[in-house]
Chain A
């Protein structure tokens, strides 16, 4: 066969065309930024001319590397301490998330606990809500006089002043991140437990193994690879979390890598920031490699699980009622109570005074007055809020559309060409953005697209840049969902259409998509929700004209206008929950389907 013919035959298959286009564009959108980032760690940026003595802009320098890694006390405060804090906080958060999420997953899938539908629905809420929701709720409850202003609800109700370590810093960050990612662990581990054949445990029962022995020798070893990979995914998510440490750590100067990144990139030493971003990417990639190594081991169980036909629930016996009640109470506490505190805080005139006569509608529908919050009107009358809301929704819809569609195509093409080098390259490229911490990712895009680049004009401050960064960042979710959808669909379904001459476009829109509608739509839902609640990714790229609700909330919070921040937060949470519920009820798409539970 001639080379020309080989190429022609290759491109006659639609999935090969898609793969080729994806390989090129994803390399451009993920690998090139990495190179650009590398370059940024060794050049002098405009704001650094003063600190790097005798240099011009764009000069090659190892100044940043030296400062970050080997400059005694400076490096310690700049990099090593935040790195250590990041690792410490991420590890503990992970343990909480896995312990809690795994425990709930076991109770829901394997025991005869009551009220499972309620628990499994509401337990997901903290993951759907913005990560700082719980952080703000924590502050609403436990803040003390350290940051000035009034103490929180807890102190107001009990009169007990909370300790600094309890109100701010590592402890609350760990708790809040742990609670936020527990649903994520729940979805992943629950999926494994649901797919794990109950016969495996029953076989051990018959062979006279005790309960503990079954757990330690059978159940845990079998789910362990998956739990480990859940652990790694949660770890890298915790590592790149920005909002929570920013809210809870800043009052006591507790810095982690992401907050350092924000400070340096926004300040005078972007070079430091780029190096830290690189470190985070290296850690993330290392985690992915460990993960693949674990999954690839020969003991891997995925090939042998059969259908789980007869699941018999573990009987909790006397503990059934107490456990059920405790879990329902706990789930309500972490998912519903925060919303109540936002509502309360947003109706209070003078912070810290929770008496009835101090209630006000000022921050919702009040006209602007000079002495309150710099003359801003209530958020329902504030045209900037509406602008931000419109921007948020517009951005999320466009990002979800782009990421969801590209993700579905990626899933289709990768599954079709399974086993080829090109397919695994595209698969890895599509997953790579997951490993890039949002903040670092935004920083690279900022540096790459701030000026003309190849044929692309300068995108700084444009809506297009936000869409681009969002779509690429959330592509991993969407392509996962697309792949799950395609893997459940036998190849013959499409071939039956091919054989009667239905063109590719029609096969996709009339056959494949409708059959796996809910799985594909989950690939749109996840980017939408993530985008609505995203802060770290956009905070560096936003200019006043295209600010979104989350960045406005962040600004109000930085200014200390608590009531506005609470009101906006409530607004965001409600929009996200309503959207999620409506889409879930209408189409069957859901977050857990997207993640692959």
Chain B
């Protein structure tokens, strides 16, 4: 059963380090997203696993077989790794019809003609592109080209599928539609998916595990909800989630054994961790991270703030509050139109606020936050 293991993989282009000492295990049947801003090394990582790029150092195993090892001098070519690859711009061959594009891989496997024909017909039907079989790629819309590319990748039935930002060239509506199709595909084909994206929403909604990278270095590798609720560091917390997390910077002091007191622009806050404990140095600079859904607006709240702007979108309303010189983002269910500059009360809910060390950015503790 295919399991992909990366051991200390690095890739350097001249002096530039694209991927730095990356180790991870992609389990069988996983849907793993490689997530990060552009230039973080996610595409390079994917291409190295597929064999399109040669790592500078490290070892890669697919299904128990070493496909690359810098030490032992192993470098299995991409066609022998038994993988599928879906390219960002589809890479459909412009001189072949849709059918020829799909059947090309099967011909290489020396399937007989009858079998190829029925397999192509089956794929065309699955992906709802049966009427385009005889057309050339340039005669199809972006969404149709995308489906052809998927059909071509699936044709040979690879157990591992690599996708490099496959949805980034589609418009918003099609993208949402194709997202559910891809998730469905993952369930039906029972293959391992590795998926590159810079869209955190895509990563959140699609994957079973998310690998977040920054400047070639792995930041966190965990299920998406864990990444969301328990981000390993400031970068992860900031990158994942929309609207983004609120960050309050200040100096913390330990009080009552386990609790922390900090004051930020007129607000006195008390943090109590939900699990484990936390100790700070004296006057250690910290950053308090609060997800927008934990900022509750209501007259019972101890904090006072003015409405900076309200952005109702139907199902929910994003409200920006100004308290002192701090801007706070809050999300309220339903559409409520707050008047600009009106005064409201607010408080903090839930047990998911995060304390980060300002210097290293590391996650120190998760817990409850209260205004005192």
| Contact surface of A with B, Cβ cutoff 8 Å | 197, 199-200, 202-210, 213, 217-218, 221-222, 224, 298-301, 303-307, 309-310, 312
Contacts and interface: CB of A to CB of B under 8 A. Distances in A.
A204 to B, nearest CB: 7
Residue of B84, B92, B108 with highest tally of chain A CB at under 10 A: B108
Interface stretch (B61-69, B133-141, B205-213, B289-297): B133-141
B104 A202 contact: no
Given A217-B104, A300-B138, A203 B78 contact: no
Interface string B263-277: 000000000000000
B85 A203 contact: yes
Contact of B105 (A207, A224, A298, A306): A207
B89 A306 contact: yes
17 contacts: A199-B88, A202-B87, A203-B87, A206-B79, A207-B104, A207-B156, A208-B156, A209-B104, A210-B108, A213-B108, A299-B95, A304-B138, A305-B94, A306-B88, A306-B90, A309-B43, A310-B53
Given A199-B89, A299-B136, A209 B53 contact: no
Nearest to A299: B95
Contacts of B257: none
Nearest to A305: B94
B88 to A, nearest CB: 7
A307 B91 CA distance: 10
Nearest to A224: B95
Contacts, number: 89
A206 B104 contact: no
B77 interface: yes
Interface residues of B, number: 30
A205 B81 CA distance: 11
B11 to A, nearest CB: 12
Contact of A205 (B78, B109, B137, B139): B78
A197 B95 contact: no
B47 interface: yes
Contact of A206 (B43, B53, B83, B139): B83
Given A197-B89, A199-B89, A310-B52, A205 B79 contact: yes
Residue of A204, A208, A301 with highest tally of chain B CB at under 10 A: A208
A207 B102 CA distance: 10
B182 to A, nearest CB: 18
Given A221-B95, A299-B94, A307-B89, A312 B52 contact: yes
A221 to B, nearest CB: 5
Given A206-B84, A298-B139, A304-B138, A197 B53 contact: no
Given A206-B50, A299-B136, A303-B138, A222 B84 contact: no
Contacts of B139: 298
A218 B93 contact: yes
A298 B138 contact: yes
Interface of B: 43, 47, 50, 52-53, 77-79, 83-85, 87-95, 104-105, 108-109, 136-139, 152, 156
A302 to B, nearest CB: 9
B89 A202 contact: no
Contacts of A299: 94-95, 136, 138
B346 to A, nearest CB: 44
A199 B165 CA distance: 13
Contact of B91 (A199, A303, A312): A199
A310 B43 contact: yes
Contacts of B83: 206
B91 A200 contact: yes
Residue of B79, B93, B139 with highest tally of chain A CB at under 10 A: B93
A228 to B, nearest CB: 13
Contacts of A301: 94-95, 138
Contacts of B85: 202-203, 206
Contact of A202 (B78, B95, B108, B137): B78
Contact of B79 (A199, A208, A303, A304): A208
B105 A208 contact: yes
Contacts of A205: 52, 77-79
A304 B108 contact: no
A222 B95 contact: yes
A351 B168 CA distance: 70
Given A205-B52, A205-B79, A208-B79, A304 B92 contact: yes
B105 A197 contact: no
Given A299-B95, A299-B136, A208 B52 contact: no
B42 to A, nearest CB: 12
Contacts of A206: 50, 52, 78-79, 83-85
Contacts of B138: 298-301, 303-304
Given A199-B88, A309-B88, 10 more contacts: A200-B93, A203-B152, A204-B104, A205-B78, A208-B105, A209-B79, A298-B139, A299-B94, A301-B94, A304-B94
Contacts of A221: 93, 95
B82 to A, nearest CB: 9
Closest 4 pairs between A and B when the two form their complex, measured CB to CB: A306-B89, A207-B105, A199-B91, A301-B94
Contact of A207 (B52, B77, B95, B108): B108
Nearest to B97: A299
A208 B111 CA distance: 13
B91 A209 contact: no
A304 B90 CA distance: 9
Residue of A217, A221, A300 with highest tally of chain B CB at under 10 A: A217
A14 B245 CA distance: 53
A200 B137 CA distance: 13
A210 B53 CA distance: 18
A242 to B, nearest CB: 38
